[in-house]
Amino acid sequence: MLMECRQLSRVYQDGDRQLQVLNDVNLSVNAGEMLAIVGSSGSGKSTLLHCMGGLDKPTSGEVLFAGYAIQDWSSNQLADWRNKEIGFIYQFHHLLPEFTALENVAMPQLIAGVSTREAKLRAEQLLQRVGLAERLQHRPAELSGGERQRVAIARALANSPRLVLADEPTGNLDDSTAEQVFELLLELNKEFDTAFVIVTHDNSLAAKLPRTLTLHHGQLNKAELFA
């Protein structure tokens, strides 16, 4: 098992009110698998993904990665782990505007200590793979929305992470572009043997994935856990 969430709860303090955003969530992700998390707005999807990526701390419960409880790690250890083992894809690409597509994809590798030459070579290969061989030197503002998300996907895979966490990766795209990006994610999952957890509010896109979990008011639908 690659990642396991055990009895995960997240409570936010909202003035004198407590907001229980995640309520006893249990979930496992196997190495190389692909699953969707769906649920209405405010059901806790992003919060769950943030807890899985160590960007937010659960109020109780634990997140285990390859058997290790990530909440025990220091922020430096978490940052290093995220850089090497976790890829993130967001609804809005979060690419660095002043850098080219190639440089954006090389960046996580340079942070990991890979040489510039090697990082650029891998970035080029990844960008070719996502269909952007002709766009290596373009900056984000010179790319379409779908192209930017392809760069963000290539960047997420740059350090060959074992897990990619994607929060509404197609939420900002038109239907046909969204479908193409989803198809690309399905292909990459098979080719790279990377696990993907994809948050989406689009049930028809989620249906393309082998497994879907539904969050409802911070709880996972238990019936689906064993489907």
Using rule CB under 6 A, residue 41 touches ligand ATP: yes
Of 142, 159, 161, the closest CA to residue 2 belongs to 161
Q: Residue 194 to residues 2, 20, 38, 123, 182: CA-CA distances in angstroms?
A: 10, 31, 20, 17, 15
* Burial of 188 from C-beta contacts in 10 A (0-12 / 13-18 / 19+): buried
The stretch among 14-22, 57-65, 173-181, 219-227 that binds ligand ATP (CB under 6 A) is: 14-22
For ligand ATP, the closer of residues 20 and 83 by Cβ is: 20
Closer to ligand ATP by CB, 59 or 71: give it: 59
Closer CB to ligand ATP, 159 or 214, in the complex = 214
Question: What strands, in cross-sheet order, belong to the sheet with 86-89?
Answer: 86-89, 163-167, 195-199, 34-38, 211-216, 219-220
19 binds ligand ATP (CB under 6 A): yes
Distances (CA, A) of 129 to 155, 219, 221, 224: 12, 37, 36, 34
Smallest distance from ligand ATP to CB 56, Å = 8
* Member of 25, 39, 146, 182 binding ligand ATP (CB under 6 A): 39
* Cα 204 from Cα 142, distance rounded (Å): 30
For the CB of residue 223, give the shortest distance to ligand ATP in the complex, in Å. 20
Is 201 a residue that touches ligand ATP (CB under 6 A)? yes
The residue from 46, 104, 170, 214 that contacts ligand ATP (CB under 6 A) is: 46
Q: Summarize as ranges the residues that interact with ligand ATP (CB under 6 A).
A: 12, 14, 19, 21, 39, 41-47, 201
